[in-house]
Amino acid sequence: MSSEIDHLNRLITVQGQDFEVDAHKWHLHMNPKINGADITMKDIEADNGVIHVLDRVIMPNMDLICPVCGMGLASIDDVSSHTLAAHVAARARA
């Protein structure tokens, strides 16, 4: 929930990427920011979690996405290891 980020400077996404949080002006009724995007609506409860509406799209770092299966990983080394272990080995067995 949005009340849990007011003391944070950074968040880690589910994919493992680092996002900058600027929520220190909430007491002035200013919108908090995530990677420079304003949160315009917060804490919208959905069946599978909570939604926060931003005023722009934040794209993941595409260098950290497996080019074969689209899985997001935390580092370039993880992408390389995943691709070699999961996809090269699978092709060798085929």
- 73-87 pLDDT, tens digit per residue, is 778 888 888 888 878
On whether the CB atoms of residues 60 and 42 are closer than 8 A, the answer is: no
Mean pLDDT of 42-52: 90
For a pLDDT cut of 70, what percent of the chain falls above it? 87
Rounded Cα gap, residues 74 and 17, in angstroms: 6
Mean pLDDT of 43-62: 89
pLDDT surpassing 90 at residue 53: yes
pTM of the model: 0.60
Return the structure tokens found at 68.
């074969």
Q: How confident is the model at residue 55 (pLDDT cuts 50, 70, 90)?
A: very high
